Amino acid sequence: MNYAANLMSIMPVLIVLATGMIVLLGDACSAQWRARRWYTWGFSLFGVLMALVQAGNQLQTQMATTFSETAFAGSIVTDSFTLTCYVILLITALLAILLAMTYLENRNLNLGEYYALVLFSTAGGMLMACSNDLIVLFVSVEILSVALYVLSGFARTEEKSEEAALKYFLLGAFASGFLLYGIALVYGGSATANHAGTTNLADLNLYLINDGRPSVLLMCGIALLFVGLAFKAALVPFHMWTPDVYEGAPTSVTAYMAAGAKIGAFAALMRVCSALAPIGEYWLPAVQTLAVLTMFGGNILAVVQDNVKRMLAYSSIAHAGYLLVAVSAASVRNEQAHNAAMGAMAFYLMAYAVMTMGAFGVLIYLSRKGRDLQTIEDLRGLARTDTFAAYAMLVFMLSLGGIPPTMGFMGKWFIFSATLQAGQVWLAIVMALASIISIYYYLKIVWMMCFQEPERPEVVEHAVASGGVRATIVLSLATMLVFGILPGALGILLNAAETTVFRP
Amino acid sequence: MPQSPIPNILSLLTFLPLVGAIVLLFLKRPQDLPEYHGGHAEHDAPHAPEKHPADPARTTVNLVAAFFAGMTFLLSLVLFGAFRSDYVESLTRNMQFLETANWIQVGNITIQYQMGVDGVSVLLIVLTTFLSLLCVLYSFHTRQRLKEFMVFLLLLETGMIGVFCALDLVLFYVFWEAMLIPMYFLIGIFGHERRIYAAVKFFLYTFAGSILMLVAIVWIYQVAGTFDVLSLSNPQTPEGKKLAEYGLRHPQAMLWLFAAFSLAFMIKVPMFPFHTWLPDAHVEAPTAGSVILAGVLLKMGTYGFVRFCLPMFPKQAEETAWIFITLAIIGIVYGSIVAAVQPDAKKLVAYSSVAHLGFVVLGIFSFTQVGLMGALIQNINHGISTPMLFFIVGMLYERRHTRMISEFGGLKLVVPMMSTMLLIAVLSSIAVPFFNGFVGEFPILVGSWISRKTYDIGGYGTTALAATGMILSAVYMLWWFQRLMLGPISRPENRHLPDLSRIEWTVLAPLAGLVFWIGLGSHFWTQRMDVAVEMILPQHMEAVNPDLPIQQVLDQQRIETLKRRGVVPMELGTESTRRVPPVQAPGASTPVVPPGPMGGSVPPSPPFPGVPPPAGAGQATPPAPGVPGGAEPDNGAPPAGPPSELPPGSFRGAPGSGAAPSGPDTPVSGPSSGNTAEENR
Amino acid sequence: MITTEHYLVLSAILFTVGTIGVLVKRNPIVIFMCIELMLNAANLTLVALGRHFGQVNGQMYVIFALAVAAAEVSVGLGIIVAIFRTKETINIDEVNLMKF
């Protein structure tokens, strides 16, 4: 296909990239631009909205025509799953930008590069969702990660933030090494006597269906590939970086990381696992083991935490476990289960992104000038001092725990449904049991906020009570409740698997 | 289907409290009054519930909350009045006021918003709205955070009514879980010292049970293709048939499904050994919270058994009935003994709940219609007597800020009205005749006595052991009453306690009135449950002990009742009976004999009196329908007057006491045993 | 003869050495050098396999990987410099404000 069509297929990514570059250049070159922070903020928002509109349009047409297209000689695929992930990532970026402004002002970090980095990171995530080639996957993983390395160290003068950046960088680069080597081995291992090796996921899928037993080289490659991706998705036992990085980074960065990086990572995992589904019996038990370890590990470790951000970090690890259950359910031969699982994962990604942004948004709302909200003790008696924040946090905690009538419950329900359809009953039961553990620490926050009396019954002045933060919280709240009661309205998400490229 | 005067009454009923809660959110927040740190400040000053300075915001909040609770109560009365006791429609399992709408439709999964009531739920809904109204009234003088209290009470009411109306598994689950949050808050914010521990324990325990139920619900969908409770409970619909066949092919898996559902309900009832959350939750909850918890939330467990476990998994329920009966009896005896040694009055009442609901579960799993009817009435009774007890304990706590029984004594001289009310509640709890407890417990014990299930466990001794529960409850209740109210006034602080105030009268008097109304005129209440009992436990599923001659008497009563309704009983032992003339949908008019859930062949329906069975094996074909039920020349038992007006469920002594001994040698054959006739002279 | 297998074995050895280096060393710059070693081992594999299949793909992928590695280096060294400015040390044992 011709050049223009190639570009059109990744138009949302290009819009975001262009916005990012304009923001970066404008901030670097023009003093006037630097002086008025609202330019940067507004322009980034505008760019994201444009991309969202474009992605939405494409999604509409995609659903109508029901076939997918590949671009750039087969290395990019635009199907409904891609466009769905675009939408989710762009909404996450939107919320992240909304949250950022006043928070950064208060910590004296309001630099234009922040928005550029967020946009680049989003673009990386979007590329991950549309990649049909392992090398494109690698490049997009790196785009996402490198931007996040810088973002996590954004508070340059604070030691914790720098330490977070260093840890993230070293461990992230380590994992990228595994990822690249894994890709190289897959390139070699997918070769047989009849054909050369390939890194193209669609071709790989075809080869795996037709060739017999995979070679040892291929299996090693797949294993290393999973290690690399598992690190990015923060699965146990590759999760060690998550609590430290989430705790050290500025809260708005943590919010974006918790949501956006996971969406990208799981989009990539879903692509890879769908492609490798024909040899599922070799790697599915490993993925399931990872899922169980992650769910239990994340939840159990969260129970003992005192610092709110660390606790939310561990809880996000647990949610990665639930998402991995959906990935495992999608990797079976049963087509109906595959579609249901992909739809469930898309819905849960949306729910997870919105509720994470909301929960961190409340934390931002509550932080004071120059200081973040750190421990759970700081939340004591919040229902008396700041009712709006307390009850908003309540809804987010309920949604994270999976209690009706919130979107989190609906998401868990869809995942249960898909897992049972795929015949992996034991995994569903394990997920149910892990959820019980998670309720404890979500309720702990709730009781600390609502049942305890505050230490000093003073009215806390909010340094960060800006419209943007409030807007984020209210939007997230509304989404949680509305789509918890009427998830059918997001049916387009749930049919995300309509036109995927791979057939298991 | 009978039309209610108000369309969509069930949705209105469910969501009106929610609307009220939202309205309350926008009202101005009343001033918090300081905590009452008294109790031992002035010994001789009157400790009245003080008059608060007039705060218009407080009045507004109170009135708005009472308005919504009152409107909901009135609506439920309308529902109660419009409910027809004799409506039968087997396709929709005799549910009235059905509302169906497509709620969620994704992929090929459809979850429907389906609400309906039958005899079991309508009484529970009236109880719920009534108790909620009383709680709202009683909570008028909450000192701190009044608005949140009312909001949570109304949210809780929405959840509770939704649970009783929901006829779709996922909808039921949503309401079931959604009801946990307001209760968690009520205990956690407004409770006593160890409230957080109690609230978290309550939540985690209940949630653990329900999440496994969720997995079971999704699994049922995989098997049967629907979440609709109506079709799943009816083995004649395609979905119900799929479920039944799945059960035959994979009995192990079906047992796990049944276990998942039962676990959730067992935790809620609560049954031994999952009852440990109850004493903590009750003790630490505020009074209104305890009342709602004991009065309504515990009923949801037994309701769940009756609505889901018995109809959807009849075979598994019947096979595992002995476990439930054993646990119920252990609960009765253990609950009573532990209650007797409690120093804390609220804990005493909490354990008494365990004991009372043990009776209810015993009645349900005795698999007799008598027992089931008694269990359903006892459900309601417990919802009246235990809230009354909690209210009174709460009133004493208001006055003296202690719940320890040793702190009181001789209060009858100081607060005679309250003492009278307490006596009524205590006697009702003990199940003394003329009070409502008797109307519940006695049929349960009769049902347990005649049941095959209890007989199989340990002969008649099992029921005898359960009956000792009545004695034990008398022990701890009367002893408590004595320590509390009788004797001399042992402590000087008790000398000047004020008697019942106006609000307290308003709250206690209706409950006392209901105690007597149910106790003396129970027919008014049970008549609505007949059809439901027949539906849940049709005659072919009953497990009556064939050694007893009771079957004949029960048959006869049934025939009388059916005659009275103008129905010609074609074949007893069938799921439905044909009306004359047939007006129902085709599904109802064919006297189909469903496959016996007790496995295997069609159960032989008991022959009519006067038709001796062939000697030898049980009949394979039902007797010729030509024998009308009315003419029973051989039956020496004349239909005695008063008993023939009774619904088949309630058993009031031997009818026509002279009749039975004059003994026709009519054969008795229980549906499951297929025995040859036993001749009882 | 030097066959493709030799190259693969060599890159495997390099990869292992790099991994051990990352795990053992305390200076972040040395750690990063070891990470680069790992990435280059992958590059070597890619080139060797490309040659083996007679395609140009392998070399193409290496170009991408090199570009990415370069970007990562710049960012990484920037982070390390920033830490050095505040702490006057970059021994990672001393960067331990946040623990379990």
Counted across chains A and B, CB pairs separated by less than 8 A come out at: 90
> Do A450 and B188 lie within an 8 Å CB cutoff?
yes
Q: Residue for token digits 């977070």?
A: A164
Picking from C15, C38, C82, the nearest residue to A156 by CB comes out as: C82
Residue A457's pLDDT is: 55
> Do B104 and A487 lie within an 8 Å CB cutoff?
yes
Task: Please check whether residue A193 touches C, CB under 8 A.
Answer: no
Cα–Cα distance list, A80 to A71, A85, A138, A344, B479 (Å)? 15, 9, 22, 14, 72
Q: Which residue of A has its CA nearest to B111?
A: A488
Which of A133, A162, A217 should be substituted to probe chain C, the one whose Cβ sees the most C Cβ atoms within 10 Å? Answer: A162
CA distance B92 to B234: 9
pTM of the predicted model as reported, rounded to 2 decimal places: 0.80
Q: Which residue of A has its CA nearest to B179?
A: A404
Task: Please check whether residue C86 touches A, CB under 8 A.
Answer: yes
Range from A430-434, A450-454, B410-414, B506-510 carrying the lowest mean pLDDT = A450-454
Q: Which amino acid is at B362?
A: L
Residue B651's pLDDT is: 38
CA distance B29 to B227: 42
Cα–Cα distance list, B563 to A336, B556, B630 (Å)? 54, 11, 7
The residue extents of the domains of chain C are 4-87
Both tokens of residue B53?
């300075």
CA distance B569 to B562: 7
* pLDDT over 90 percentage in chain A: 33
> Do B177 and A416 lie within an 8 Å CB cutoff?
no
* Half-sphere exposure (Cβ direction) of A426: Cα atoms closer than 13 Å: 5
Q: Is residue A466 part of a domain?
A: yes
CA distance B552 to B554: 5
Task: Please check whether residue B188 touches A, CB under 8 A.
Answer: yes
In terms of residues, how long is chain A? 504
Give me the phi and psi of B153, to 5 degrees please: -60, -45
Residues 6+ apart with CB under 8 A from B41: none
Picking from C49, C68, C82, the nearest residue to A188 by CB comes out as: C49
> Do A403 and B214 lie within an 8 Å CB cutoff?
no
Residues of A with Cβ-Cβ distance to B108 under 8 angstroms:
336
Residue B413's pLDDT is: 85
> Is 50 exceeded by the pLDDT of residue A280?
yes
Which of A80, A334, A345, A446 should be substituted to probe chain B, the one whose Cβ sees the most B Cβ atoms within 10 Å? Answer: A446
Low-confidence ranges of chain B (pLDDT < 50): 37-48, 571-681
CA distance B424 to B327: 29
Residues 6+ apart with CB under 8 A from B83: B2, B96, B117, B119, B122, B528
Residues of B with Cβ-Cβ distance to A345 under 8 angstroms:
none
CA distance B151 to A156: 47
Contacting chains of B (3 CB pairs or more, <8 Å) are A
> Do C45 and A157 lie within an 8 Å CB cutoff?
no
Task: Please check whether residue B185 touches A, CB under 8 A.
Answer: yes
**B–C contact: 3+ Cβ pairs < 8 A:** no
Residue B491's pLDDT is: 81
Residue B607's pLDDT is: 40
CA distance B364 to B352: 19
Picking from C19, C39, C83, the nearest residue to A180 by CB comes out as: C39
> Is 60 exceeded by the pLDDT of residue A402?
yes
Residues of A with Cβ-Cβ distance to C76 under 8 angstroms:
149, 169-170, 173
Nearest chain B CA: its distance from A453 CA (Å): 10
Task: Please check whether residue A156 touches C, CB under 8 A.
Answer: yes
Q: Is residue A499 part of a domain?
A: no
Residue B570's pLDDT is: 54
Residues 6+ apart with CB under 8 A from B659: B636, B637, B638, B640
DSSP letter at B144 equals S
> Do C61 and A185 lie within an 8 Å CB cutoff?
no
Q: Residue for token digits 């949501």?
A: A259
Picking from A150, A188, A198, the nearest residue to C75 by CB comes out as: A150
pLDDT digits (tens, 9 = 90+) for A109-149: 777 789 999 999 999 999 999 999 999 999 999 999 999 99
> Do B104 and A428 lie within an 8 Å CB cutoff?
no
CA distance B243 to B234: 10
Highest mean pLDDT range out of A168-172, A405-409, B482-486?
A168-172
For range A173-178, the mean pLDDT: 94
Both tokens of residue B561?
């009742």
CA distance A345 to A266: 9
Residue B125's pLDDT is: 93
Q: Residue for token digits 């949908």?
A: B585
The C residues from 8 to 67 touching A (CB cutoff 8 Å) are: 8, 11, 15, 18-19, 22, 28, 31-32, 35, 38-39, 41-43, 45-46, 49, 52-55, 57-58, 61, 64-65
Residues of A with Cβ-Cβ distance to B200 under 8 angstroms:
440, 443-444, 447
> Is 80 exceeded by the pLDDT of residue A206?
yes
> Taking a C-beta distance cutoff of 8 angstroms, is the pair B210, B264 a contact?
yes
> Taking a C-beta distance cutoff of 8 angstroms, is the pair A383, B157 a contact?
no
* Half-sphere exposure (Cβ direction) of B591: Cα atoms closer than 13 Å: 14
Q: Which amino acid is at B165?
A: C
For range C11-31, the mean pLDDT: 93
pLDDT band at A496 (very low <50, low <70, confident <90, very high): low
Residues of A with Cβ-Cβ distance to C52 under 8 angstroms:
188
pLDDT digits (tens, 9 = 90+) for A359-397: 888 888 887 655 566 777 777 777 777 778 888 888 899
* Half-sphere exposure (Cβ direction) of A401: Cα atoms closer than 13 Å: 30
Residue C75's pLDDT is: 93
Residue A204's pLDDT is: 87
Maximum Cα interatomic distance, chain A, rounded to a whole number of Å? 76
Q: Is residue A500 part of a domain?
A: no
Nearest chain B CA: its distance from A378 CA (Å): 18
Picking from B211, B218, B221, the nearest residue to A436 by CB comes out as: B211
Enclosing domain of residue A36? 3-494
Please state which CATH number belongs to domain C4-87. 1.10.287.3510
Residue B53's pLDDT is: 63
Residues of B with Cβ-Cβ distance to A417 under 8 angstroms:
109, 218, 221
Q: Residue for token digits 């950064």?
A: A104
Q: Which residue of B has its CA nearest to A493?
A: B106
Residue B626's pLDDT is: 39
Q: Which residue of C has its CA nearest to A170?
A: C32
Q: Is residue A57 part of a domain?
A: yes
Helical segments of A153-200, H only: 159-189
Q: Can you tell me whether residue A155 is helix, strand or coil?
A: coil
Give me the phi and psi of B402, to 5 degrees please: -150, 150
Residues of A with Cβ-Cβ distance to B178 under 8 angstroms:
403-405
pLDDT greater at residue B587 or residue C8: C8
**Burial of A129: CB neighbours in 10 Å, binned 0-12, 13-18, 19+:** buried
Phi and psi based region of residue A73 (left: phi greater than 0; alpha: psi -120 to 50; beta: remaining): left
**B–A contact: 3+ Cβ pairs < 8 A:** yes
Phi and psi based region of residue B412 (left: phi greater than 0; alpha: psi -120 to 50; beta: remaining): alpha
Residues 6+ apart with CB under 8 A from B488: B409, B410
CA distance A422 to A401: 24
Residues of A with Cβ-Cβ distance to C78 under 8 angstroms:
150
Closest by CA to A444, choosing from A408, A410, A393, is A393
* Half-sphere exposure (Cβ direction) of B80: Cα atoms closer than 13 Å: 18
pLDDT band at A59 (very low <50, low <70, confident <90, very high): confident
pLDDT greater at residue A99 or residue A13: A13
Beta bridge partners of A77: A70
Which residues in A have their CB inside 8 Å of a CB on B?
336, 339-340, 343, 398, 403-405, 409, 413-414, 416-417, 420-421, 425, 428-429, 432-433, 435-436, 439-440, 443-444, 446-447, 450-451, 486-488, 491, 494-495
Residue B383's pLDDT is: 93
Contacting chains of C (3 CB pairs or more, <8 Å) are A
Q: How many domains is chain A built from?
A: 1
Residues of C with Cβ-Cβ distance to A109 under 8 angstroms:
none
CA distance B588 to B573: 15
pLDDT greater at residue A151 or residue A379: A151
